[in-house]
Amino acid sequence: MTASHTPGHPNDWDPTDEDFPDGLRGPAWVAELERLRGECPVAYSDRFGGFWTLTRYADVVDAAVDHKGFRSGQQFLRMPDLLTIPGMLNPPEHAVYRRMLNKFFTQERMAALRPRILSLVAEHLDPILARGSGDAVREFCQPLPARALAALLNLGDDAHVELLENFVRLDETGWNPDAINATIFAVFSQSVRRVLAERRKAPLDPEQDLISAAMAMEVDGVPASDEVIVAVGVSVIGAGHSTTADALSSIIFRLATDPYLQARLRREPALIPDAVEEFLRLDAPLPELTRTTATPTEIDGVTIPAGELVALNFGAANLDPEAFPHPTACIVDREFRRHLSFGHGVHKCVGAPLARLELISAVDGLLSRTQGIALDGAAENSAGLVLKGFATLPIRVIPA
């Protein structure tokens, strides 16, 4: 019999419950996701104005590919002024911008960036190795993607300093929509507008420069406005930093707490790309994204009304035993690798090739230049319920 849940229905779960002291990482959280998949795979919570959560792999995949039934645009925090392109758009408009962005993340582009990424990995590892210790987040995980973005966007190398300051400001806003709006528009938007002004004074080849490509775009014969160009730039910068930084911090934590895993990957470095995929599956840095139902939709016997916010819980789907045997085990040579940590469907992360390049290069550099990695104090989880990573991660290393 079909059930119909509407706002006001008793909570099926509370993602902000104090019983999750380790946030999105601890065993209590993993156990709750397991309970939801088994007992309530379409779960309702009245948090953030009310939303639904899908936790089964098959359900999440189906919703992710159904861009007509599950529309992009609304986030957990209602911020009407926030626009990121193309993530908040839907087909067919979405495809116009996605085609422009795709050409900047091809295998050829990544191969051209690889020497720079390897150089940055070495540069940020050097002081940690020289001292034998350091905060992996502050000294390695945070600056590496900021500098990679600066390279991708043809910014000056010192641009990463401002980028990092901006991300710190954003992290400090917590769950305050007004503060997030102010930070994004007063800080990130201003940064992109400065680049836009520089490009107008000194144009670059739109085939080689992402912001210039956005400037050259036309949609239905109309040139892209400055607001649209800024929204594209903010999207690339916002999506390209924190997720990669948090993914890398989770990977280093896993390595630092598993000397046997370290030893295996040092013996078999060819496994590192596969290992990175397994690490991403286990610790999705952005565990869920939201969609809005266009019509009443039935899933697993539950009817979600039209106009409801639905979280596609990629992190929960990645731990679904129906999709991944022994789902909580770290199996670096696992055969089935269709994890959802970069999303799925038309909105799958366009920057995934760059993130993979950074993560593989970082793990390879860290393991090849050390004999051992261990924690050197308590690690602090990132704040909030959106991103999954660490705010601080003290490590000690034995150089190779």
Q: For 184-202, what is each residue's pLDDT tens digit?
A: 656 778 888 999 999 999 9
Give the other-Cβ count within 10 Å of 274's Cβ: 18
Structural domain count, the chain: 1
| Spatial separation of the C-alpha atoms in residues 4 and 291, rounded to whole Å | 19
pTM over 0.85: yes
- The verdict on residue 127 lying in a domain is no
For 55-132, where are the E strands, in sequence order?
Answer: 70-71
Q: Are 213 and 195 in contact (CB under 8 A)?
A: no
Q: What is the pLDDT of residue 302?
A: 93
Higher pLDDT among residues 75 and 42, named by residue: 42
| Spatial separation of the C-alpha atoms in residues 22 and 327, rounded to whole Å | 20
Residue 176 in this model has a pLDDT that exceeds 90: no
- The verdict on residue 129 lying in a domain is no
Residue 153 in this model has a pLDDT that exceeds 60: yes
Residue 174 in this model has a pLDDT that exceeds 90: no
Half-sphere exposure of 260 (CA within 13 A, CB side): 3
Residue 208 in this model has a pLDDT that exceeds 50: yes
Q: Are 355 and 273 in contact (CB under 8 A)?
A: no
| Spatial separation of the C-alpha atoms in residues 265 and 275, rounded to whole Å | 8
Residue 92 in this model has a pLDDT that exceeds 70: yes
The pLDDT of 279-301, averaged and rounded, is 94
Q: What is the pLDDT of residue 249?
A: 95
- 49-58, 183-192, 220-229, 251-260: lowest mean pLDDT where? 183-192
- The verdict on residue 130 lying in a domain is no
Domain of residue 87 covers: 3-122+135-399
Q: What is the pLDDT of residue 3?
A: 43
Q: What is the pLDDT of residue 57?
A: 98
The pLDDT of 264-270, averaged and rounded, is 97
**Which two tokens mark 187?**
């800080």
The pLDDT of 70-74, averaged and rounded, is 88
Q: Are 346 and 91 in contact (CB under 8 A)?
A: yes
**Which two tokens mark 133?**
């210790």
Q: What is the pLDDT of residues 307-321, one digit of tens each?
A: 999 999 999 999 999
pLDDT category of residue 173 using cuts at 50, 70 and 90:
low
With 0-12 / 13-18 / 19 or more C-beta atoms within 10 angstroms meaning exposed / middle / buried, residue 38 is: exposed
- The verdict on residue 128 lying in a domain is no
- Return all residues near 48 (Cβ < 8 A) that are at least 6 apart: 76, 77, 309
Q: What are the phi and psi torsion angles at 53 (to 5°)?
A: -130, 130
Q: What is the pLDDT of residue 2?
A: 39
Burial 330-360 (b: 16+ CB within 10 A, else e): ebbebeeeebbbbbbbbbebbbebbbbbbbb
CATH code where residue 76 lies:
1.10.630.10
How much of the chain, in percent, has pLDDT values that exceed 70?
88
